[in-house]
Amino acid sequence: MKAKVTDIKGKNVGDIELSDEIFSVKPSKPLLYDIIKMQLANRRKGCASTRGHGDVSGTTAKMYRQKGTGRARHGDERANIFVGGGKSFGPHQRDYSYRLPKKARRSGIRAALSLKRSEDKLLILDDFPIKAIKTKDAVDALKTLGVNSGLIIYNGGNESLEKSVRNITGVKLVRTEGVNAYDLIRHEHTIILKDSLDKIQEVLKP
């Protein structure tokens, strides 16, 4: 399957061969759901934490004798019913992360790329030349391409592009090794630089 390669001004500068096994896959909604759910769970931080009986400071001496006082039986002052005591059955820090099989994660990326191509939201650029670090130049280029929300995939090593794009709302720049289904689905357009396409197709090849 062939796709058009455009320049930063949106003009066609040639064609490139795309793998049908990567860009013409029938998207599986349940698979995409599972992968996005996994990625969001892995970003979640279980910060809630309370101190129990063994975590608070206080004397461990018995407060008063066991019998003969007419009061309830008590041990030390760290019991949960006293001010400053440990909390009973309180929440503790939790790890929400889990991993799906590698094959499933790669299948999800292929499904997301195929979805973008079928929706005509996949752009392949021959280059994204930005000589100086200037956000305005990057904004103008994206506006010319008709991109308001986009994921840009590149090989790295382009400091001008990295620093020019990082402050643009709705636009994210990722290296080829960092491509994931969540970012592909979350952004309306996907922009792949031509020199990174071979690496993507090599890694995602079934």
pLDDT digits 0-9 by tens, 67-117: 999 999 999 999 998 888 999 999 988 899 999 999 999 999 999 999 999
Q: 177 falls in which pLDDT band (50, 70, 90)?
A: very high
Q: 46 falls in which pLDDT band (50, 70, 90)?
A: confident
Query: What CA–CA distance (Å, rounded) separates 156 from 148?
Result: 22
CATH for 2-27+100-204, among 3.30.1550.10, 3.40.1370.10, 3.30.460.80, 3.30.70.990?
3.40.1370.10
DSSP-derived secondary structure for the chain: -EEEEE-TTS-EEEEEE--HHHHS----HHHHHHHHHHHHHHH--B------TTTS----S-SS-SSSSSS-----TTSTTSTTPPPTT----B-------HHHHHHHHHHHHHHHHHTT-EEEES----SS--HHHHHHHHHHHT-SSEEEEE-S--HHHHHHHTTSTTEEEEEGGG--HHHHHHSSEEEEEHHHHHHHHHHH--
pLDDT recorded at residue 116: 94
pLDDT recorded at residue 56: 92
Angle of CA points 96, 30, 32, to nearest 5°: 65
Residue with the two structure tokens 């349940």: 30
Q: 60 falls in which pLDDT band (50, 70, 90)?
A: confident
pTM for this model (two decimals)? 0.80
pLDDT recorded at residue 164: 93
pLDDT digits 0-9 by tens, 162-174: 999 999 999 999 9
- Give me the mean pLDDT over the 14-30 stretch: 91
Query: With pLDDT > 90 as the criterion, what percentage of the chain qualifies?
Result: 74
Cβ-contact 23, 117 below 8 angstroms: yes
Query: What CA–CA distance (Å, rounded) separates 170 from 189?
Result: 10
Q: 131 falls in which pLDDT band (50, 70, 90)?
A: confident
Domain ranges for the chain, please list them: 2-27+100-204, 45-95
pLDDT recorded at residue 41: 95
pLDDT recorded at residue 2: 86
Average per-residue pLDDT in the chain? 92
Q: 59 falls in which pLDDT band (50, 70, 90)?
A: confident
- Give me the mean pLDDT over the 167-193 stretch: 94
Q: 188 falls in which pLDDT band (50, 70, 90)?
A: very high
In the Cβ-directed half-sphere of 172, how many Cα atoms lie within 13 Å?
A: 17
Residues in Cβ contact with 11 at an 8 Å cutoff, skipping those fewer than 6 apart: none
